[in-house]
Amino acid sequence: MEERSKLVAARKRRFTHWSRRKVARQIGIGENTLYCLEKGLSKPRGDTILLLSDAYGVDARDLGFEDDQPAQNPPASASSAPPEVTIMTDTITSSLKQDLTVHLMNIVLFEKQIDVVQGQIDKAVQDYEALIREDLDCLISRRNALRSLVLLPIGLCVATSTQHTTRHVDDILIQCAAGIAACRHFSNGKELVLARDALSNYIAALKVIIQQSERNKKTAADLLMQCLMLKAELARDVENIEQSIAYLTQAISYGEISQNVLLEALTWRTLAATYYYAEQWSNCLHATEKALKTMKLAPKGTFPLDAQSFINAGAATYFAVNGKETQAYDAISSARRTYEMQAHDAPKWAAHSEGNLIHNEAISAYYLGKHGQAAGSMQKLRLMPAHSMSEVSEYRFDTVRVEVMRDDQPRNIELCIEQWTQGVQEARALQSKQRQLEARQTYAMLRAAWPQEQAIKDLKSLLTF
């Protein structure tokens, strides 16, 4: 078969300067699948044609798939009925996307590449969220679909960890990868405890696979590091900061097996953030330097620019809190530059965004005594969407910190009361220990700033978690 030049041209036109691998991940298919389709080495399935047409914004004929469409049935004869042709019509595709549970289960059943599974699940959830908007019934369906995906691996994981067997290992790895992706979405809402408990089951099974399956130990180590990193973030909310540090330290210990420089650097970055929340400044600085050093070990051009921006943005804050002004400015400059260089492709476990970048710009300025600059950045941040309710709550409490300390103009007490009150409500809804601690810390700052204000004193009644 000849190369499909129309398909190649459509990719390059729609995703200029993107690699084939990156485009494949964005669409939700394997890189090798896309390569074989472009080279004319394989024929596409009906659902793959629909995915490509949707991603490139053209119909199948404009992609060079005229000959790959299902043939029209011949007229029926008196002696025989026409054969049925299987085809993914627009109606079926639309219905599948609206039934998120079936859509997610199909991904787990038919896709065998772990990174593609996680990418497709994230894309399916994002597409569903755009579809449902604020429809309460659909929000409940979303939650139930994700809950089903989180629970799917539990049976195999329990059997593996209690019987020390590695039967069905490929199924376990795919299902755990899908469950981890679902847990990330739970960690952004109110299902924190379920996500934590499910991850514990995944971790036990993955450790058995690492011990007993030489063929699968690297893949299992990758997933185990993802589990431990996510569980550490959850622990800040539902357990304690010390447990979070322990999970991340354990994750780093599996880096030698995984040999995934990107994942190892992001784990160090997450550990630095955890030490920051624990106010262990010297440990925070050490972890920051390890993240930056690990990032530099990656072969040139292989470390995603978004991930570089994520690590440098955090480094700016952690250098600033340690009084290292030059390093902080260099880090935030690098974070901004790499963020703006290309379309965003950080792994989902990096959770980076324009808002996260501006937040680190604000907080690094705050620690360096640039309170007016910090307040300006926080004002921008309030106009932007946040990644999660926990993130929104953190932004509100940091708005209070910055406003209380500003010296370039009179402090805005109404803004502080509004932001603090909303942050407390979100911390209560999340049942987040970390956000509740921040509520108490910022309330103390408010009392110190306005010791005689009755409106500030009255806020104390809200500190009942």
Q: Which of 349, 380, 411 is the last residue of a domain?
A: 380
- The whole-number pLDDT of residue 92 equals 56
- The whole-number pLDDT of residue 95 equals 59
CB 47 within 8 A of CB 65: no
The string of pLDDT tens digits covering residues 19-72 is: 787 787 777 777 767 877 887 777 777 767 877 877 887 877 788 876 555 444
- The whole-number pLDDT of residue 44 equals 78
Cα 400 to its chain centre, rounded Å, is: 27
Query: Distance (Å, rounded) from C-alpha 353 to C-alpha 371?
Result: 23
Query: Distance (Å, rounded) from C-alpha 1 to C-alpha 309?
Result: 42
Structural domain tally of the chain?
4
CATH code at position 362: 1.25.40.10
Residues 230 and 175 in one domain: yes
Residues 272 and 341 in one domain: yes
Residue 109 lies in a domain: yes
Range of the domain at 54: 5-68
Residue 81 lies in a domain: no
Question: How many C-beta atoms surround the C-beta of residue 392 within 10 A?
Answer: 18
- The whole-number pLDDT of residue 96 equals 53
Residues 242 and 280 in one domain: no
* Structure-token match 């357990």, residue found: 239
Residue 89 lies in a domain: no
Residue 45 phi/psi, 5-degree rounding, is -75, 165
- The whole-number pLDDT of residue 138 equals 63
Residues 355 and 399 in one domain: no
CATH code at position 39: 1.10.260.40
Query: Distance (Å, rounded) from C-alpha 406 to C-alpha 369?
Result: 9
- 55 vs 15, 19, 32, 231, 280, CA distance in Å? 10, 15, 17, 33, 46
Query: Distance (Å, rounded) from C-alpha 415 to C-alpha 423?
Result: 12
Residues 234 and 267 in one domain: no
Residues 131 and 230 in one domain: yes
Residue 37 lies in a domain: yes
Residue 310 lies in a domain: yes
What is the pLDDT tens value at each position of the chain, 465 positions in all?
577 888 888 888 888 777 787 787 777 777 767 877 887 777 777 767 877 877 887 877 788 876 555 444 444 444 444 554 445 455 655 555 567 888 788 888 887 788 888 888 888 887 777 766 555 556 567 788 899 999 999 988 988 888 777 678 999 999 999 999 999 887 555 678 889 999 999 999 999 999 999 999 999 999 999 999 999 988 988 888 999 999 999 999 999 999 999 999 999 999 999 999 999 999 999 999 999 999 999 888 888 888 999 999 999 999 999 999 999 999 999 999 998 886 555 555 567 888 999 999 999 999 999 999 999 999 999 888 766 788 899 999 999 999 999 988 999 999 999 999 999 999 988 888 899 999 999 999 999 999 999 999 999 999 987
Query: Distance (Å, rounded) from C-alpha 421 to C-alpha 461?
Result: 11
CA dihedral of residues 313, 318, 319, 320 (deg, nearest 10): 90
DSSP structural state of residue 239: S
462, exposed or middle or buried, with CB in 10 Å at 0-12, 13-18, 19+? middle
**How much is the CA Rg of the chain, to the nearest whole Å?**
25
Residue 161 lies in a domain: yes
- Overall size of the chain counted in residues: 465
pTM confidence score: 0.76
Residues 285 and 369 in one domain: yes
- The whole-number pLDDT of residue 79 equals 46
Residues 153 and 131 in one domain: yes
Q: Which of 259, 290, 309 is the last residue of a domain?
A: 259
- The whole-number pLDDT of residue 349 equals 58
- The whole-number pLDDT of residue 347 equals 57
- The whole-number pLDDT of residue 451 equals 95
CB 417 within 8 A of CB 455: yes
The string of pLDDT tens digits covering residues 395-406 is: 999 999 999 999
Residue 75 lies in a domain: no
- 165 vs 150, 177, 247, 402, CA distance in Å? 21, 19, 25, 54
Query: Distance (Å, rounded) from C-alpha 441 to C-alpha 157?
Result: 41
- The whole-number pLDDT of residue 377 equals 95
Query: Distance (Å, rounded) from C-alpha 256 to C-alpha 211?
Result: 14
Among 107, 101, 71, CA closest to 86: 71
Residues 325 and 351 in one domain: yes
DSSP structural state of residue 77: P
Query: Distance (Å, rounded) from C-alpha 307 to C-alpha 284?
Result: 19
Helix axes 5-14, 46-56, angle to 10 degrees: 40
- The whole-number pLDDT of residue 407 equals 87
The runs of H, that is alpha helices, within 213-260 are 217-238, 241-253, 255-258
Residues 371 and 412 in one domain: no
Structure token digits, residue 445: 């700052």
3-state percent helix, strand, coil for the chain, nearest multiple of 5: 75, 0, 25
Query: Distance (Å, rounded) from C-alpha 379 to C-alpha 73?
Result: 62
Q: Which of 380, 412, 437 is the last residue of a domain?
A: 380
Residues 246 and 119 in one domain: yes
Residue 82 lies in a domain: no
Residues 108 and 255 in one domain: yes
User: First-to-last CA distance in the chain?
Assistant: 66
Query: Distance (Å, rounded) from C-alpha 47 to C-alpha 110?
Result: 12
